[in-house]
Amino acid sequence: MSLIEEIQKRKTFAVIAHPDSGKTTLTEKLLLFGGAIQTAGAVKSNKIKKATTSDFMEIEKQRGISVATSVMAFEYRDTLINILDTPGHKDFAEDTYRTLTAVDSVILVIDCVKGVEEQTERLMEVCRMRKTPVIVFINKLDRDGRDPYDLLDELENKLEIKVRPLTWPIGMGKTFKGVYNLAQDELNLFSAGQKQDDILQFKDLDTPDLDEKIGGEYANTLREDVELIQGVYEDFDAAPYLSGEIAPVFFGSAVNNFGVKEMLDTFIEFAPNPKKRETQAREVEPTEKKFTGFVFKIHANLDPNHRDRIAFLRICSGKFERNTFYYHSRLDKKVRFNNPTSFMAQKKNIIEEAYPGDVVGLYDSGTFKIGDTLTEGEKLFYKGIPSFSPELFREVINKDPMKSKQLEKGVNQLSDEGVAQLFKHKLGNRKIIGTVGQLQFEVIQYRLKHEYGATADFKPLNYFKACWILSENEEKLKEFMRRKHANIVNDKDGNLVFLADSPWILKVAKDDFPEIKFYTTSDFKVDALSHDYQV
């Protein structure tokens, strides 16, 4: 099969949502359709203790939430689909933001009871910024929720994107009868616990059988709704969807495996194949013969029994092959991989080759950092994979001096993963961890204890923002560091960072030192590296 044929066969997307919207449950139902798994687990169930397939970390199983991105692949209708199931909790948003750089489209899950929530709005901001195509799945129709028209209005107003319903619900909660497929003129009737294959279908809404099956009142309401939708909305056009201007909307119940197939079939037909991507030097087309890719995630101890460390590589162009030397742009050296793997959550299979759109796991002994680029020799750096300024800062306090080495290793590896950001202060060799949410500290504390055997407390620090600093005026930079030495730290890569105590202090620093550039994300490092700055 040619490179172009391999690319056309692949679709890579992320599932994103606010916590408890049913995101991970939907992911599992998609895997069921692809035959990748045989049974789905239940999240936070007292009766079923099996955790969901994509939640493989012990803390995820205990809490019933996703705290790290999972990667899964399956085939459906001759298409190879790569799913990235992301954390929904806002405290782990940065992992989700990085994941969005590695996908070509998104499925956004909305709880029909709660509607659009704050975290959903933030995620959509990133999608809009990247013009990422979005499909919306309004979930939990088996519960009493909001009016469908109100939900559509809220999607357009809060997410700033036009919508086009492609299925429509009949009733909701206890009166939920099913969904009507507006694109196929088919009616799928709902029965809790019923398999998708057993659902009755109608091609004609005017048939008397419809009244008999769902009742005259529901049948008439459906006929009116369909007529109204077809009058208000234009026919669905793939072009504005692919440019991120309009989002097709589906209704269903993931836990009951209802309404999922309609969405998956539409996704297969319209979702984009691997797209071109921007580097500091040029745009890279997936059809280019030479391989390129970038690391968007690192995870230590994916298998607790082997203490491994895996770098997640998104392939952007060409063909990736096992046991082949590739050029590591940041380190300026050749590297080779004996056992590259594909993923099914925590299960890994060694692969011989992979193509644009695929996500490959590379065993890593410390060679990689998030954002690293691999090529066949060209010095490229893929853009748009930044670290953001944290919102909470804590000093690491070692509770067991006998385990100092374990603590050092754990903190360094977890910061390499992007779980949190690590800053080091030369005064007393203090270690400061920055996160965007309190829950991250709990995860770090848990993983330090259970994966590294180290125990630590976190002392709160009252910093406002971390700013990466650069200047071509070395004298001014040295003067600034002398005056602000108590607030100058290094990040894990050795870059200089200014920890501002307040917005006012940051403003004064900028006014007093116009020669210094202050960055609130680490994305500047791509541009700096491309100009050979020593940072």
Q: Does domain 392-530 have CATH number 3.30.70.3280?
A: yes
Domains 3-170+237-270 and 277-375 share a fold: yes
Element (H, E) at 389: none
Among 255, 257, 256, 266, CA closest to 107: 266
**Any idea where the domains of the chain sit in the sequence?**
3-170+237-270, 277-375, 392-530
Beta bridge mates, 519: 468
- From first to last of its 535 residues, the chain has per-residue pLDDT tens of 799 999 999 999 998 888 888 888 898 888 888 776 655 543 333 332 333 444 444 544 444 444 345 678 888 989 999 998 776 445 455 667 778 889 999 999 999 999 998 878 878 887 888 899 999 999 999 999 999 999 999 999 999 999 999 999 999 999 998 899 988 888 888 876 655 544 566 667 788 888 888 889 999 999 999 999 989 998 999 999 999 999 999 999 999 889 999 999 999 999 999 999 999 899 999 999 999 999 988 876 555 555 577 889 999 999 999 999 999 999 999 999 998 988 654 456 888 999 999 999 898 887 888 889 999 999 999 987 766 788 899 999 999 999 999 999 889 888 877 778 899 998 778 999 998 778 788 888 988 998 889 999 999 999 999 999 999 999 999 999 999 999 999 988 888 999 999 999 999 999 999 999 998 876 655 444 333 333 2
How far apart CA 476 and CA 473 sit, in angstroms, is 6
pTM (predicted TM-score): 0.78
Q: Fold for domain 277-375?
A: Rossmann fold (3.40.50)
Q: Residue 432 in contact with residue 396, Cβ under 8 Å?
A: yes
The residue written with tokens 């009766």 in the block is 47
The CA distances from residue 32 to 38, 71, 157, 200, 513, in Å, are: 6, 15, 34, 21, 58
Q: Return the CATH class of domain 3-170+237-270.
A: alpha beta
How far apart CA 519 and CA 498 sit, in angstroms, is 10
Q: With 0-12 CB in 10 A as exposed, 13-18 as middle and 19+ as buried, what is 46?
A: exposed
The CA dihedral of 195, 197, 203, 206, to the nearest 10 degrees, is -30
Helices (H), 9-56: 23-33
DSSP state of 173: G
The residue written with tokens 């590739």 in the block is 326
The length of the chain in residues reads 535
Among 12, 42, 39, CA closest to 25: 42
Angle 186-135-119 from CA coordinates, rounded to 5°: 135
Beta bridge mates, 108: 16, 136
